[in-house]
Structure 1
Amino acid sequence: MKNRSKLFLLSVLLVLFQPSFAQTKRIIYKESLQDFPNPERGFYIPFGTSTEEFKPLDKDVLLSYRRQPQQPGKASYSFFCSLIYRAYRLERFKKSPIDADFLQKIQNDFNTARSAGIKLILRFSYTDKTHTGDCPDEYKICPPYGDASKPVVLAHIAQLKPLLTKNADVIAVLQMGFIGIWGENYFTDYFGDASMNQLGVIPDSSWHDRNEVLTALLNALPSDRMVQVRTPQIKQRFVKGPNAPVTTLAMSEKEAYSQSAIARVGFHNDCFLASADDYGTFYDYGNSSSKRGPANETLRRYFEQDSHYTAIGGETCDDAFSPQNDCAPVGRAEQEMAAMHYSYLNAAYNNTVNNDWQSDGCMAKIRRNLGYRFVLEEAVLPTKARRGQSITCQINVKNVGYASPYNPRPLQLILRHKGTGALTVLASQTDVRKWFSGPIRWQESFSLPAKLQSGQYELLLNLPDAYASLANRPEYSVRLANETVWEPATGYNRLNHTLTVEP
């Protein structure tokens, strides 16, 4: 801490001697421990629906999620919610196109989410029913499973593409889905059953079929949106082909955020801390030339490294792995979320696990730290400048969250005239997706417009949504975790500083 203070003092002195600065002021900010909603992160509430019994999203219900603490189901904890999981089960269309009526219902849901200031985690599947029998699977889930063939899946993705493109602004992330029971890419009739009910491995031809579906999903979304897959091996064999070993290297920082396929595939772990390998999440399912087998440590390392740059979420599913899934010091729940960069988790399932975090005392921190949480610490800001002059701002921020934002987001320095209220927006070149967990030293120069009105200006930071349709909606702007900073009416964060602009 002392070293950081010395470094900051040195940087202050350097700034003071820059020619572009006549005067500067150092400001200290106070962290807030308040729980509040922020876009694309936190605990989510699931809303599944189907073609047989469709239930539309309700605007009033969604509005209440952001405004009032929620406590769904058997949860012993409450939270503000800005994310919902929207699952569509397409059981009526296993052998036919999606009809126009159901496509319109999906569009209506997008409209409702947008009007309520909510974003969606999306998944499509064909079945959530299981049946038992005399089959080799250890859980006695037996075929036929009830999903759809590859031609049907690809045709449905083509039908959904216009909707996904049109409504990408309110899509936080799309999960691969489509294949297998629950869309989890495991028990499937058509894409290589990953259980022991058939070959005991996923053959090369099935890996190719899965890759074709994932390619179609990536193509169905704008290039600034990600698709999550259920296991790390699915990404490895998508990027490097069916023969990719579990030792395949994770994505590098250079590859991240490039809008390439490798940069746009994240993970959803739907059995977080449920067993030593999270019920097969970290497992090698083989191929045409190799057997299935354990790969827990290797795939966990891959997940930890790759997740640094992608969208990560999921849910708990079983409390059998207690006390490992509990709070520290006996458990490693927070340690795992931080190491694997979790942005969101399900609040409705499984609360035999989640409720332990409440009773053991770490839930408050988990609520705050899922995803990103930016805290202003110190700033050195100019107090006077002339029109047309370049000003330099130096701000120290700390991301105390487990992850950085996974979708693109502008960063703006806003000058608001104290007399007229006129706004001048100065765009930063900084990519806040690279504001990873830990300390961030942000320094940037901005050119003031040559015709800027003279007078006193408040300085504010704005991190709005990247889409023009949402850019002026405060619900979709990032709130900094500080006292006396947030403006709920505008979505701006006050720097509590005044700049005087002279002619």
Structure 2
Amino acid sequence: MVNPERGFRYSLDDLIQQADPATLADFRARGTSLVYAYARLDPYREQDLPPEFLDGLRQALARVRAAGMKVILRFAYNLGPYPDPEPDASRERILAHIRQLTPTLRENADVIAWLHAGFIGAWGEWHSSTHGLDRDLEAKRAVLQALLEALPRDRSVLLRYPKDLRAFFPEPLTEERAFTGEDQARVGFHNDCFLSSDSDMGTYWPPETREEDQAYLAQTTRFVPVGGETCAPYPPLQACPVALEEMARLHFSELNLAYHPEVVEYWRREGCLEEIRKRLGYRLVLEEAELPQALVPGGALEVRVRLRNEGFAPPVNPRPLYLVLSGPQEVVFPLEQDPRRWYPGAHAFTARVPLPDGLPPGRYRLALWLPDPYPSLRDDPRYSLRFANQGVWDGARGWNVLGEVEVRERP
């Protein structure tokens, strides 16, 4: 079941060169809504980005949109190798490139799920910088701040290392400050060596900080995106019970299905790959919908809904919720619910809305609609959130149908 902004994803080494319609369509057909991609800046380490690069980036993002996908984007000046990578760029050049990229990022934020901080070091992974930026906290702070300013306030930037998150924001994110648009509420975490050694190959360094770092992350990641990939087999941490527990604790929304192949095959063989597939990000199950037996024009429509999030995380980007009444006339009612607060576990709400006086009598369907908030994607059902129940989804409209009610003529 494909749902936006969650799940397993595939990767591209060069968004501009490799995001062709056939490749993206194949990813979508395999059941993914996300693609991770580098935007390669290798030729521009010492110069401005040319118009041709910016045009190519816009065109690639347009192809992502046409495919019904979203991209997890990272800008990088090299793809390694480790430990002696090709060069990255200076702090001044990086900040200049971010200024150039800002209009394109803002224009295409609808199909950017979230952005990796990138730019610095090998693979843009904030280590092994040939300019020493990975050891310069103020340079890293400047890059993060520039990226937060480049993106709309509804989009997040993910950092590679807990030590950087904790240096910038010493106290973990609280529910009161979550989803406010302030800087800390927009900074998530990606682990590119998830469960791949005692320290996750230096993610937690020194290794004995792992528990302390994870306690911080467990709180913060309730409200921000988390993703990544494994990078080497390490059975002590990759055993299914351990892996599932850590994905739940750190609220993973996405993982690379293609890497590391031995780890993915191990999960398949051990029997938990399908559970991981279902639980990455959100998995919303409608448990009960209490509907009125009959309605009259000018009266009130009251619906009680109980649902359960069986996933590792809530929906992490803003998303509206509407109640739809569809029959001889169609009426859409906005509801005061924030799906980002549908954390793993049980949820219930009651919606009470006034009906139009002139509503025609007849049979109506009642549905919940959770479209993408961007006007460019709002009416594309591929970007609407889908409940996990069988027989609920209207794929043509992007609705989750609760049932039918009758509108009778007013006495």
Match of 1:189 among 104, 108, 130: 130
Q: Which residue does 2:5 correspond to in 1?
A: 40
Q: Which residue does 1:15 correspond to in 2?
A: none
Q: State the percentage of identical aligned residues.
A: 40
Q: Which residue does 2:344 correspond to in 1?
A: 437
Displacement of 1:390: 2.6
Match of 1:467 among 362, 374, 377: 374
Q: Which residue does 1:254 correspond to in 2?
A: 176
In the aligned structure 2, how far is the partner of 1:461 from the partner of 1:83? Answer: 23
In the aligned structure 2, how far is the partner of 1:166 from the partner of 1:497? Answer: 40
Displacement of 1:83: 0.5
Bigger mean CA offset, 273-282 vs 339-348: 273-282
Conservation of the 8 A alpha-carbon contact between 2:91 and 2:133: no
Displacement of 1:127: 1.1
Match of 1:282 among 204, 208, 213: 204
1:350 aligns with 2:350: no
Matches within 5 A, 1:136-151: 141-142=83-84, 145-151=86-92
1:156 aligns with 2:88: no
Q: Which residue does 1:487 correspond to in 2?
A: 394
In the aligned structure 2, how far is the partner of 1:454 from the partner of 1:416? Answer: 12
Q: Which residue does 1:269 correspond to in 2?
A: 191
1:325 aligns with 2:238: yes
1:424 aligns with 2:386: no
After TM superposition, the score normalised by the length of structure 2 is 0.96
Larger Rg: 1
1:478 aligns with 2:382: no
1:174 aligns with 2:125: no
1:207 aligns with 2:137: yes
After TM superposition, the score normalised by the length of structure 1 is 0.79
In the aligned structure 1, how far is the partner of 2:236 from the partner of 2:209? Answer: 22
Matches within 5 A, 1:19-168: 36-49=1-14, 55-67=17-29, 69=30, 80-130=31-81, 141-142=83-84, 145-168=86-109
Displacement of 1:501: 4.7
1:447 aligns with 2:354: yes
Unaligned runs of 5+ in 2: none
The one-letter amino acid of 1:91's match is D
In the aligned structure 1, how far is the partner of 2:250 from the partner of 2:340? Answer: 16
Conservation of the 8 A alpha-carbon contact between 1:145 and 1:187: no
Bigger mean CA offset, 441-450 vs 360-369: 441-450
Bigger mean CA offset, 481-490 vs 251-260: 481-490
Displacement of 1:130: 2.5
Q: Which has the higher contact order (CA 8 A, sep 6+)?
A: 1
The one-letter amino acid of 1:89's match is R
Q: Which residue does 2:162 correspond to in 1?
A: 232
Match of 1:311 among 206, 211, 225: 225
In the aligned structure 2, how far is the partner of 1:466 from the partner of 1:362? Answer: 33
1:218 aligns with 2:131: no
The one-letter amino acid of 1:365's match is E
Q: Which residue does 1:14 correspond to in 2?
A: none
Which has a greater percent of helix? 2
In the aligned structure 2, how far is the partner of 1:298 from the partner of 1:468? Answer: 42
The one-letter amino acid of 1:361's match is G
In the aligned structure 1, how far is the partner of 2:48 from the partner of 2:390? Answer: 52
